[in-house]
């Protein structure tokens, strides 16, 4: 048995507007996400099933055949291997649950997915 207190865990700043507090069990990864309006996640897939439970806010997910807006107290389940991207419509607090370990969370390899290319555009 393991006990986790998210109030006492250090957060992982994925970027200045996207924070994550993650815990890892034997066969599941769970994270509390706090993401600000306007943040995007680039198209990707992974080998884990992923469930996004929006506690507060609004998060739009783009899947191959449909866009899904997930709002307060709604959950989206994304099967392993399905390409998806997203954009945060309102400041959002969510729980991200993934089957198996998300080694990309621990290593930080997923940070590139949470970079909004528009923030690097320069006016001429």
How confident is residue 124, by pLDDT bands cut at 50, 70 and 90? very low
51: domain CATH number is 2.60.120.10
Within a domain: 54: yes
User: Are 57 and 17 spatial neighbours (Cβ–Cβ below 8 Å)?
Assistant: no
Any idea what DSSP says for residue 117? G
Q: Could you give the angle at the alpha carbon of 17 between the alpha carbons of 72 and 75, nearest 5°?
A: 25
Tell me if 99 is assigned to some domain.
yes
Domain that holds residue 80: 12-120
- Is the model's pLDDT at 43 over the cut of 60? yes
* Residue-averaged pLDDT of the chain: 86
Instruction: State the total domains in the chain.
Output: 1
Query: Is residue 2, in this structure, part of any structural domain at all?
Result: no
Are 60 and 87 in contact, with CB atoms under 8 Å apart? yes
User: Considering the entire predicted model, what is its pTM?
Assistant: 0.80
How far apart, in whole angstroms, are the C-alpha atoms of residue 34 and residue 13? 10
Burial label for 78, CB within 10 Å (0-12, 13-18, 19+), is buried
Residue 6 belongs to a domain: no
Residue 54 has pLDDT above 90, yes or no: yes
Q: Is residue 3 part of a domain?
A: no
């Amino acid at each position: 048995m393991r006990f986790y207190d998210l109030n006492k865990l250090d957060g992982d700043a994925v970027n200045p507007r996207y924070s994550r507090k993650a815990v890892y069990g034997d066969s599941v990864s769970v994270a509390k996400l706090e993401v600000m309006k306007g943040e995007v996640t680039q198209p990707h897939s992974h080998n884990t099933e992923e469930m996004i439970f929006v506690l507060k806010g609004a998060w739009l997910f783009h899947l191959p055949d449909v866009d899904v807006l997930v709002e307060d107290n709604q959950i989206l389940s994304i099967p392993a291997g399905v390409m998806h991207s997203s954009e945060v419509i309102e400041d959002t607090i969510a729980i991200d649950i993934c089957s198996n370990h998300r080694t990309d969370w621990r290593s930080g390899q997923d940070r590139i997915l949470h970079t909004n290319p528009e923030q690097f555009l320069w006016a001429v």
